[in-house]
């Protein structure tokens, strides 16, 4: 985030209000102490530091913040929220930003979303997550076919990964979970957002 | 009190050893639980990262099943499952949000749904230190243990209610009741291991897990004790990847706290899933056996 930002042209005064309404947090309370960034276990992989994300919201930099990689790399460990001297739930804000970004089709780190969707596909199908299925779908989506192949021999030998999916025993229950996803996807379509 | 049990998906696959040892320990302590019939995945990180209502709907279905089963409390081993269900419980108190979640479900959620707790807290609630001590046949005395909780068990603090969110000590208490007298004050006990980033962004998980492993080794730990399936996988199955990140080769066993308790209770290795560990725990079990045998002989010698 070292390039010059045209604050007058890019400022969106409603952005902070929207983030505050959806996250229930008072973003104005952030005075840039940097505790969130200092404690963040993923910050080395962020393009914007957590405190910069907070400042970006205050400055109304909607595009900059919602297009960031940071909101997709956040691990939701909540260390930032715990250490914020102003009790801002920063991890909750990051989650809100992720939701807002996805609703407008902004996906800062595509392979992270591909992993999430692959995982959820297995839950939708079997009612329970299925490790090998998640990996296979992720490799297909991301074309990263070498992902964790180094772990496969040991994982299989130790039967860490069941070859068969873990399906809910009752078929009716599998279908009930499928219906939760179906309704969720239908509603997302109705509301015009990315499911 | 009727206690329902939610295993979570890992229990059926990558953390079968956690599941086996949890059941062995609960059985040894006489704590009875009934698995929620037809439970589903809580959605884990992907569901809440994508949409709060989807995550909450998945969890609410489980809470409703437990309510209909007549459960007063639900216990689970997995911190991520626990966090998601606890979040769902709280979020369902908001009437507007509840309506949105109910729209996703076959039938509206019941008004009253049981709370969820961790198996670790359940054990501590049901058994005092003396009751646990009375079960110990092979003391953990002399084993240097690095207790590691990961990020979710104690955070967010007000939701998880797990003591000091940066210095929880419940695992230490349980292990101490099993005779452990050399538990490290482990500074990285609640630092994130890198969680599920291991798949889409390995360097992050390798680096974070590498730091944790390196510190445990530097502090002279015999093993790391964990309570989260994903932490265990990152520290054990991914130990070689973490070693590469740190420019070294690690070889330190990473056991679930329930496996350590089970060893102390004299449960056999198979019933604790010790063979599932990637870094063998043989040297830990051998050391425990040797030390407890020596202690018993010394005690008998003393009496004679």
Q: Report the gap between the CA of A161 and the closest CA in chain B (Å).
A: 5
The most distant pair of C-alpha atoms in chain A lies apart, rounded to whole Å, by: 59
Half-sphere exposure of B232 (CA within 13 A, CB side): 32
Stretch A47-61: mean pLDDT: 97
- Choose from A180, A183, A194 for mutation: most chain B CBs within 10 A: A180
The answer to the question of residue A158 being in a domain is yes
* Better pLDDT: A148 or B181: B181
Residues B207 and B68 in one domain: no
Residue after which a domain boundary falls, among A85, A103, A121: A103
Domain span including residue B117: 3-121
Residues 107-146 of chain B whose Cβ lies under 8 A from any Cβ of chain A: none
Tally of CB atoms within 10 A around A159: 15
Question: Looking at the partner chain, which of A75, A114, A131 has a beta carbon nearest the beta carbon of B14?
Answer: A131
Q: In this structure, are B279 and B154 located in the same domain?
A: yes
A195 within some domain: no
User: Which residues are paired to B255 by β-bridges?
Assistant: B225
Q: Is the peptide bond before B156 cis (omega within 30 degrees of 0)?
A: yes
Any domain includes A98 = yes
Residues B274 and B232 in one domain: yes
Q: How many domains does chain A have?
A: 2
Look at residues B30, B241, B304 and name the one whose alpha carbon lies nearest to residue A148: B241
Domain tally, chain B: 2
How high is the pLDDT of residue B304?
Answer: 55
Bridge partners (DSSP) of residue B147 are B225
Note whether B196 contacts A: Cβ–Cβ < 8 A: yes
Same domain for A58 and A87, yes or no, is yes
Size of interface A-B (CB pairs under 8 A): 171
Q: Tell whether B219 and B264 lie within a shared domain.
A: yes
The model's pLDDT over A121-139, given as tens digits with 9 standing for 90+, comes to 999 999 999 999 999 999 9
Give domain status of residue A2, yes or no: no
Contacts for B109-113: CB closer than 8 Å, 24+ residues apart: B109/B60, B109/B63, B109/B64, B110/B64, B110/B67, B110/B68, B112/B67, B113/B60, B113/B63, B113/B64, B113/B66, B113/B67, B113/B89
For chain B, 304 residues long, the average pLDDT of each consecutive 10-residue run is 97 94 98 98 97 98 97 98 98 97 98 97 98 97 98 96 97 98 98 91 95 98 98 96 96 98 97 97 96 90 68
**DSSP designation for A28:** G
- A85 in the same domain as A133: no
Considering the domain architecture, whether residues B174 and B109 belong to the same structural domain is answered as: no
Specify whether B262 is located in the same domain as B230.
yes
Q: How far is residue A164's CA from residue B230's CA, in Å, rounded to a whole number?
A: 20
pLDDT at A153: 86
Q: Which of A120, A170, A173 to mutate to test the interface with B (most CBs of B within 10 A)?
A: A120
Residues A151-195 pLDDT 10s: 988 888 887 777 789 899 999 999 999 999 999 999 999 999 999
Contact assignment for A115 to B200 by CB distance below 8 Å: yes
Which of residues A103, A130, A162 is at a domain's end?
A103
Grade residue A2 by pLDDT with cuts at 50, 70 and 90: low
Domain that holds residue A72: 11-103
B131 part of a folded domain:
no
CATH code: domain of residue B39: 1.20.1050.140
Secondary structure of A33-97 in HEC code, one letter for each residue? CCHHHHHCCCHHHCCCCHHHHHHHHHCCCHHHHHCCCHHHHCCCCCHHHHHCCCCCCHHHHHHHH
Same-domain check for residues B185 and B85: no
pLDDT at B301: 82
Q: How far apart are CA A159 and CA A85, in angstroms?
A: 45
pLDDT, tens only, A89-103 = 999 999 999 999 999
Looking at residue A6, its pLDDT comes to 73
The percent of residues above 70 in pLDDT, for chain A, comes to: 98
Is B191 close to A155, i.e. CB distance below 8 A?
A: no
CATH code at B211?
3.40.50.11810
What 3-state class would DSSP assign to B180?
coil
């Amino acid at each position: 985030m070292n390039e010059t930002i045209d604050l007058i042209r890019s400022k969106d005064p409603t952005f902070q209000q929207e983030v505050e309404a959806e996250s229930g947090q008072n973003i104005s309370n952030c005075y840039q102490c940097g505790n969130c960034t200092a404690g963040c276990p993923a910050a080395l992989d962020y393009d914007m530091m957590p405190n910069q994300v907070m400042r970006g919201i205050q400055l109304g930099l909607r595009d900059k913040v919602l297009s960031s990689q940071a909101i997709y790399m956040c691990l939701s460990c909540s260390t930032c929220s715990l250490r914020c001297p102003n009790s801002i739930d920063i991890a909750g804000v990051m989650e809100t930003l992720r939701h807002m970004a996805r609703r407008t089709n902004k996906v800062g780190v595509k392979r992270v979303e591909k992993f999430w969707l692959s995982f959820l596909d297995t839950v939708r199908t079997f009612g329970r997550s299925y490790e090998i299925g998640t990996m296979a779908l992720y490799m297909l989506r991301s074309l990263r076919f070498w992902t964790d192949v180094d772990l496969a021999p040991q994982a299989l030998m130790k039967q860490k990964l069941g070859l068969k999916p873990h399906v809910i025993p009752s078929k009716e229950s599998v279908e009930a979970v499928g219906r939760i996803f179906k309704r969720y996807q239908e509603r997302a379509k109705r509301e015009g957002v990315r499911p | 009190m009727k206690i329902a049990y939610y295993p979570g998906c890992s229990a059926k696959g990558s953390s079968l050893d956690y599941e086996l040892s949890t059941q062995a320990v609960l059985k040894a302590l006489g704590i009875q639980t009934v698995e929620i019939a037809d439970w589903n995945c809580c959605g884990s990180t992907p569901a809440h990262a994508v949409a709060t209502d989807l995550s909450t709907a998945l969890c609410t279905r489980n809470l409703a099943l437990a309510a209909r089963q007549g459960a007063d409390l639900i216990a689970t081993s997995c911190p991520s499952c626990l966090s998601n269900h606890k979040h769902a419980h709280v979020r369902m108190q908001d009437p507007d949000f509840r309506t949105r979640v109910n729209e996703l479900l076959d039938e509206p959620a019941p008004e009253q749904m049981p709370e969820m707790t961790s198996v670790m807290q359940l054990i501590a609630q049901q058994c005092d230190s003396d009751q646990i001590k009375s079960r110990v046949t092979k003391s953990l005395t002399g084993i240097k243990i690095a207790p590691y909780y990961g990020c979710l068990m104690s955070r967010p603090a007000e939701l998880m209610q797990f003591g000091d969110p940066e210095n929880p000590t419940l695992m230490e208490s349980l292990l101490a009741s099993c005779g452990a007298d050399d538990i490290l004050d482990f500074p990285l006990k609640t630092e994130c291991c890198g969680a599920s980033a291991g798949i889409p962004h390995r360097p992050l998980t390798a680096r974070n897990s590498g730091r944790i492993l390196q510190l445990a080794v530097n502090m002279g730990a015999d093993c790391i004790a964990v309570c989260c399936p994903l932490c265990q996988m990152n520290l054990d199955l991914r130990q070689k990847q973490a070693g590469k990140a740190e420019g070294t080769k690690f070889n330190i066993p990473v056991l679930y706290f329930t496996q350590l308790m089970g060893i102390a209770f004299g449960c056999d290795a198979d019933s604790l899933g010790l063979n599932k560990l990637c870094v063998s725990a043989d040297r830990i079990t051998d050391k425990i056996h040797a030390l407890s045998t020596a202690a018993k002989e010394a005690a008998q010698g003393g009496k004679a």
